Amino acid sequence: MGSHAHSNEPIVYPNDEQFGKASPGKIGMWIFLVTDAMSFSGFLLAYGILRATRDWPNPVQALGGVGLSGFMTFLLICSSVSMVMSIDYCKRHDRKGMLTWLLVTILGGFAFLGLQVYEYNHLAHDLGMTFNNYAHGNNLFASTFFAITGFHGLHVFSGVMYLCYMYKLAHDGVFDNGNYNQLEIAGLFWHFVDLVWILVFTFVYLL
């Protein structure tokens, strides 16, 4: 009984000189995100170099406008807000609110992926743009576009699967004792995915 009661108490991490009260999981996630950011930086840097040295199409015209991608951006930003709300309700020990907002976040991620599939289908069938061929312009534009957005889409899919697992844990009552550390770590990854998309949207669709 004593060990069971102790397990239901929130975990308190000691104050570290370098990392404060951050849990080992948060530190590990931050390290991963820094290395992952380097991967995206390499993609965007390559895109910028190619764009500066070759005949590059106007992204707005080549991609048939930015209305859909703009809505996708808005969708991801809203999903970040819902993720914050989910963690906030978890801190209040409100399981129903936590599950509701976490589900909203998951649905937002699935909606983004669905729209990305729709966009790829539109580009391939209506504009003649595939990974290694662009009927109306530079093939490198097509290659870099699908490489960057596809890499990000993989992150969104991974994040949605991650959040689905968090939803199961939340539904099972794992976070009812106030130990919301795992949920915050998942939130860090999701916020990173959202932030990267804003950069991708700016570099690839707008500039």
Tens digits of residue pLDDT in 117-157: 999 998 888 777 777 777 666 788 888 889 999 999 999 99
| pLDDT at res. 11 | 55
| pLDDT at res. 142 | 84
Please tell me the distance from the alpha carbon of residue 120 to that of residue 88, in angstroms, as a whole number: 36
What are the chain's domains?
2-206 (1.20.120.80)
Share of the chain above pLDDT 90, in %: 52
Q: Exposure of 180 by Cβ count < 10 A (0-12 exposed, 13-18 middle, 19+ buried)?
A: buried
- Output the average pLDDT for the chain: 85
Average pLDDT on 40-64 reads 85
Q: Exposure of 176 by Cβ count < 10 A (0-12 exposed, 13-18 middle, 19+ buried)?
A: middle
Confidence tier at 173 by pLDDT (50, 70, 90): confident
| pLDDT at res. 33 | 94
pLDDT value at 69 more than 80: yes
Q: Give the list of residues 6+ apart from residue 71 with CB closer than 8 angstroms, or none.
A: 115
| pLDDT at res. 18 | 47
Amino acid at 126: D
pLDDT value at 61 more than 60: yes
Q: Is 24 helix (H, G, I), strand (E, B) or coil?
A: helix
Average pLDDT on 2-21 reads 48
Q: How far is CA 174 from the centre of its chain?
A: 24
| pLDDT at res. 14 | 54
Task: Quote helix, strand, coil % in the chain, to nearest 5.
Answer: 75, 5, 20
